Every structure is written in C-alpha cells, then in structure tokens.
C-alpha cells in the first residue's frame, strides 16, 4: 500500500465521518442580518437620540448631584465614556452590515428591473414586427373602401356605356 493510499484510504469507498470534539454552534446569517438591520434602523431614529440623550443626562445628573457615597462614576466620567465607546464600536459594524444587505437587495432589484426592461423591449420589438407584417398583409388585401370605389367605377363606366348606346 502506497503512502497516498494510506493517507486517503480507498478511493472507491466513502470515508468515515469524523466527529468534531466540540459541537459547532448553529449560526444563521440571515437571522443575524435581520436583527442587525432592526438595530441599525432603530439607531437611525430620533427616538434613539432622545433615549440616548435622556440616558446621558440622567447619568451625569446622578454622578454630579448625588452624595459621594452614591456616585458610581465621578467627574471625568470614565465609565460613561467607556459605555459610549462600546455602543459606538458595536453600532458602526451593525450599520455597515445593514448597508451591505441593503446594497445586495438593491443589486438584486436592479438586475430584476434590467431583465424586466429587456423583456419589455423584446415584447415591443416583437409586437412592432407583427404590426408591420399585418400592415403589409392588409396592403395586399382588398379593403371595403377599395371595393366600393371599384364598384362605383364599374357602375359609372356602365352608365356611360348606356348613355352612349341610347
């Protein structure tokens, strides 16, 4: 048995499944994307700005106006800065993810619109050719007005002949 056969086993038989030591967590990128879009949509609202402003005002008021023993983040407000940095560090990627998903949807919509326009153009060209064919066919067929004018001409000629004969 060659080294390659020992390494890969028999190629005419399926390999045995190797189970991982730790179970893999189930990750649904669509569900995560939908959640991130909802968060990004909320972050972009006036309601979020009002909530965030109220939160910061309460935080600052608590840590300035309360007695020293109840303050948990004194004047330089380091913990507040950390909280805001953490919020910004998570909101920026979520917003970018939501924008990427929207760009993908826009790209799909653009492709569908382009295909729809191409089908409409092809249908229009087909109908144009059909109408042109019908016009040519009608041009070769005697129309009612043409038959009337020919009958009138024949009647006029017949009336002239009768007048001359009498």
pLDDT digits (tens, 9 = 90+) for 2-26: 666 666 666 677 777 777 777 777 7
Single pTM value for the model: 0.57
> Rounded to the nearest 10 degrees, what angle do helices 29-43 and 78-140 cross at?
110
CA distance 87 to 59: 15
Q: In this structure, is residue 16 part of a structural domain?
A: no
What percentage of the chain carries pLDDT values higher than 90?
A: 59
Tell me whether residue 77 is in a domain: yes
Residue 146 inside a domain? The answer is yes
pLDDT for position 86: 96
Tell me whether residue 84 is exposed, middle or buried, using C-beta atoms within 10 angstroms of its C-beta: 0 to 12, 13 to 18, 19 or more.
middle
Total domains, the chain: 1
Range of the domain at 46: 28-159
Pairwise pLDDT comparison (145 vs 113), residue with the higher score: 113
């Amino acid at each position: 048995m060659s080294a390659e056969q020992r390494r890969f086993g028999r190629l005419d038989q399926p390999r045995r499944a190797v189970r991982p030591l730790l179970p893999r967590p189930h990750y649904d990128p669509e569900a995560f994307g939908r959640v991130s879009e909802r968060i990004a949509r909320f972050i972009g609202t006036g309601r979020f700005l009002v909530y965030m402003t109220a939160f910061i005002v309460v935080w600052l008021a608590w840590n300035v106006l309360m007695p020293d023993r109840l303050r948990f983040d004194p004047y330089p407000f380091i913990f507040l800065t950390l909280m805001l940095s953490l919020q910004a560090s998570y909101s920026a990627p979520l917003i970018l993810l939501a924008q990427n998903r929207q760009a993908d949807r826009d790209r799909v919509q653009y492709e569908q619109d382009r295909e729809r326009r191409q089908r409409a153009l092809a249908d229009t060209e087909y109908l144009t050719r059909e109408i042109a064919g019908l016009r040519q066919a009608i041009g070769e067929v005697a129309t009612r007005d043409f038959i009337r004018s020919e009958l009138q001409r024949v009647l006029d000629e017949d009336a002239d002949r009768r007048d001359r004969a009498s």
